[in-house]
Chain A
Amino acid sequence: MEYRETPRHALAASPRRTPLPAWLPALALTVVAFPAGAEMRFNFPEPATPMARETLHMHNEFMLIITALFVVVFAIMVYSMVKHRKSQGVEPAKFTGPTGKLQWFWVLVPFAMLLFIDFILMGIPAFHAVIEMEDTQTKADMVLKVTGMQWKWQYEYPDSGIKYISTLATPRDQIDNKAAKGEHYLLEVDNPLVLPVGKKVRVLITSTDVIHTWWVPQFGAKRDAIPGFLRETWVKIDQPGIYRGQCAELCGKDHGFMPVVVQAVTEPEYAAWVEKKKAEQAAAANSADRAWSKEELMAKGKQVYATICAACHQPNGQGLPPAFPALAGSKVVNTPLLSMDGKLVPDTHVYRVMNGKPGTAMQAFKTTLSDVDLAAVITFERNSFGNAQGDMIQPAQIKALR
């Protein structure tokens, strides 16, 4: 499948509405400061949904209104500052308030105008926009569930049972300035969210740990992910393409490193993608039933560890104590796998990985990882970083423990 990149430089807001230059005052400054060609944008990115178009239109209109207010009010003030100076030899007036009907009229006119601007000129479009934004259910074509977790997103399609995790794909070396930064530095993921164009998608949002915020600027959609509660928003993407955004609520150390990338595709392409993804998941589920060799588990575990665990426990297993404990030599990791009769024992390694530790960043991975991933990563941790338990756990055992 080929996807067209949406032009990030495009300034045209939408076919029917022209963006208004609300940024004029700063233009002179920035033009002087930087040669032409530097990539700077002064307004919202090009809208890709009806809601984003609405928001941009409203924003442009409001910026024009407040710029006009600013100019008018301060033109009067500047006029006064030029004309009414002591050095001009003026005798200061003595008035302390409006006197006479005419003056009262001129005093009240600005407030009548402000009332009109607040509650009519801005208030009415704002009212309609809120109603539109919050109407997530009318004529919704499909549902998507987004779960924020430190520091990745999980996407779930309840209709087709597809569920996967999406994490930052930018290599560590680029962040540490050891390698040249790619074009989509920090805005690229391993598994993007795939959505069909032209369909109203009702997006349900929640979190497993702290508050995150799911935000794609070109969609005009931003909603907090609250642990234990469902929040919702909606998107209806106009054009195929790749749309990028980020988590917008401070959620701990890697808040800046959990991007949202959406791949919008045509409906047939979407259907094909769903089939492919379903087949992959079925294969993965089946593979949980077969016996895995330790080498297989170790190889798979290393991969899972790098994408899921290394952010906190660090690639070398040393962690960042005290917030993120080391796995090397860890008491928890070096507990027996299961009880003698094959049951889960609280506060053991398997228990901790599956159920997490409340009140910390350690989440219950049984809700997000597959049986194979869990078995692999547990086996890997027990036999790496100097831990030498020598044992292993089978995906089938994990399946039975759920």
Chain B
Amino acid sequence: MVGDMETGHTTLSQYLLRAKQAISRTYSGPEKIISEISSIKNHANGNVYIELAEYAGETNERRLIAKVSATVMRSNRRILTEFEKHAGEKLAAGMKVLIEIQTTYQEIWGMSVNIVGIDHKYTMGDMAALVTEIREKLVAEGIYNRNKSRPQPFDYYGIGIIAPSVSAGLEDFNKKLENIPDTVCQKRISHCVFQSDKAGDAIAVLIENMNKSTTSFDAILVIRGGGGKSDLNYLNHERLARQICLSRTPVYVGIGHETDRTILDEVANRSFSTPSMVANFISEHICQRAQDMESFWLDISREAMTRLKDKEGQYRDGWASLCASVTELSNERESRLQAHYHDTMRLSSAYVHKTENELLSINSSLTQGVNRAVSHIEIAANQSWQDCQRQGLRRTELMEGEIQSAMDLLETSINQTQRDLKDNEERERLNREALLAQQKKHRAQLITAGLVVVILMIIILILWGFINE
């Protein structure tokens, strides 16, 4: 063994050379091994990097006992194509495979495991078998799609978060959501281990408690960032998967990396490749709801304003049209009225003229008629006058005769009356004389009677005096 010339100590190259020689002796040629593929990544340089893993224990109690990173060199990629051709699917994480590997060691690059052959007869690995077993049980119980089919919340006012206490992925997650205050969305974080045999039970209990909590959660998020593929096997847990199925609250799973999938991704309401994507989804949903609402309101305001303006325009147009119609109608009526006026004036003038002529004609006729009537009346009157004169003379003559005879008779009567009057006067004188004589006689009788009475009175008075004395 050759050491450093000055100090006598072994150098790094000398030390690693021994390691190289030991590995070269141990792994002298390619060997076939059985392993499970934890992850598989295509690199830009053409190489494909595959993480190989081995687990111990039964379905729910599996634990990782070995893992190593292997490479399919660009020059050897044809083995992947051949595998896909024969197995019917691409080589993927979760598959159990029989591979031929060549292990080498170089002082500068370290140990490298190169995959030089793949037996396509091994297409299913232990991890995939476990997932299949859990899936079949949940399907048989009729709960496999229960959480998946739950309606997504309208918006997020409260979320329960289950995550490891320390995780790069959680920091990313927190950065995305930390700006959203609790007044908008209340966040309750519960920490628990994710890379442990107890992870499945612990997470299941937290989900159960969040469902029983008085705090109303719109979603429960199970998130974990980074980590190796083999660590995910702890999450292929039957109780945990069942609890997610039975959760009344939608469960969102965000477990990195993008190529990592577990049974939780299958049964959860929504599955995301990373915690950051869950945070993005929640925050974008909250913002989108608010923006949608704002947008609806703006649309309504704009539309209402447009419609009101349209109405105003319609009313303005209608008013202008109405004014124009009224003016047009007014002008038309006016011209028609003027035409009527002129027609009427013309007709009335003609009528007046005609009527005047008719009246003049009537007047002339009437004058002639009156004149004729007057002359007839005059003739008739003259004739009547003459008749009257003739009859009057005859009557006068007759009356004169009668009057003469009446005068004679009257004279006779007067004479007779005069004679009667004289007779009566005489008789009257005689009667008057007789009456005067009778009056004298009566007067004498009265005086006598008066004297007697006076005497009697005096006698009575005298007697009365005596009596009183």
Whether both chains belong to one complex is answered with no
Q: Which residues from chain A sit less than 8 Å from chain B, CB to CB?
A: none
